[in-house]
């Protein structure tokens, strides 16, 4: 599933989280005294999403179907799918800790952000050490993605120590949206949905354009995050839902 559908699935996955956070954090910021009985349920949905991701990577028609080593050919099977399964596994672990942090277990504050950071660093290192065997454009696209991944991972790591920091949450949200839209871009570049081959892997112009394009995606991600913040603010304030005005 290194084809268009796989990248679209991953992109959608990150976009859901990014866009969800871009609404959740401004709301949290505006009504921080309200109780959240429904949030645990939302986190359960997240964990289901991670599980769906893992199952999709494993059981698509050309997936490994839980087979890791082929005794016949003495070779590893469908390692790319397994790597994405590993990626979803770590996001799943972070989701479980997220749910537990609302439970009466009294976890150390910040453990949820630490696990999120670990999940993103794991994703980043998996891409770093991935073997792109001579598909230079493929490698270039994922190198750019690393900026978004490690950027987000560093944000989450800093949030362990600087909890509920508005700027860090804004920054991390924008990196998630960037990651989501860039996975879609990767899908369109490497295996267009309308068939035909991907872009020319040897044309240096493609490399330069995609570098620039990545930062246009980021400008768009920043605008979307900002627009959602403003929209959430106006929605709450305009409808008189605001209970506690921010006091800093």
Q: Is 36 left (phi over 0), alpha (psi -120 to 50) or beta?
A: beta
Binding mask 27-46 for a second copy (x = CB under 8 A): --------------------
Near a second copy in 140-169, by CB under 8 A:
140, 143-144, 147, 160-162, 166-167
Selected from 44, 65, 136, 208, the binder of a second copy by CB under 8 A is: 208
Selected from 2, 8, 125, 199, the binder of a second copy by CB under 8 A is: 125
Site for a second copy contains 235 (CB under 8 A): no
Binding mask 84-103 for a second copy (x = CB under 8 A): --x--xx--x----------
Residue 117, H or E segment: helix 111-128
Near a second copy in 51-80, by CB under 8 A:
68, 75-76, 79
Residue 233, number of CB atoms within 10 A of its CB: 16
Selected from 102, 188, 207, 235, the binder of a second copy by CB under 8 A is: 207
Which one, 216 or 231, has the nearer CB to a second copy?
A: 216
Site for a second copy contains 247 (CB under 8 A): no
DSSP letters, 168-236, are HHHHHHHHHHHHHHHHHHHHHHHS-TT-S--S-SS-HHHHHHHHHHHHHHHHHHHHHHHHHHHHHHHHH
Q: Is 135 helix (H, G, I), strand (E, B) or coil?
A: coil
Site for a second copy contains 185 (CB under 8 A): no
Selected from 42, 62, 164, 203, the binder of a second copy by CB under 8 A is: 203
Distance (Å, whole) CA 39 – CA 45 = 10
Q: Is the dihedral of CA 136, 182, 90, 151 positive or negative?
A: positive
Site for a second copy contains 227 (CB under 8 A): no
Tokens at 144, concatenated: 């750019």
């Amino acid at each position: 599933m290194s084809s268009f559908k796989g990248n679209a699935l991953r992109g959608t996955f990150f976009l859901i989280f990014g866009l969800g956070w871009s609404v959740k954090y401004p709301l949290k910021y505006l009504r921080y005294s309200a109780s959240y009985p429904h949030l645990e349920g939302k986190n359960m949905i997240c964990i289901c999403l991670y599980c769906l991701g893992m199952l999709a990577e494993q059981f698509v028609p050309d997936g490994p179907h839980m087979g890791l080593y082929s005794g016949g050919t003495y070779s590893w099977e469908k390692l790319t799918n397994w790597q994405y399964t590993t990626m979803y596994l770590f996001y799943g672990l972070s989701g479980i800790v997220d749910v537990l942090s609302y439970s009466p277990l009294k976890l150390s504050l910040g453990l949820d952000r630490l696990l999120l950071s670990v999940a993103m660093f794991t994703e980043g290192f998996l891409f770093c050490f991935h073997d792109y065997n001579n598909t230079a454009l493929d490698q270039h696209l994922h190198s750019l993605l690393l900026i978004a991944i490690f950027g987000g991972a560093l944000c989450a790591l800093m949030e362990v120590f600087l909890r509920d920091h508005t700027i860090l949450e804004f920054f991390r949200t924008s990196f998630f949206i960037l990651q989501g839209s860039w996975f879609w871009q990767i899908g369109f570049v490497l295996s267009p949905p309308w068939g035909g081959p991907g872009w020319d892997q040897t044309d240096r112009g493609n490399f330069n354009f995609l570098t620039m394009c990545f930062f246009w995606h980021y400008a768009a991600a920043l605008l979307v995050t900002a627009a959602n913040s403003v929209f959430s603010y106006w929605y709450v304030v305009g409808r008189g839902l605001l209970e506690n005005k921010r006091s800093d």
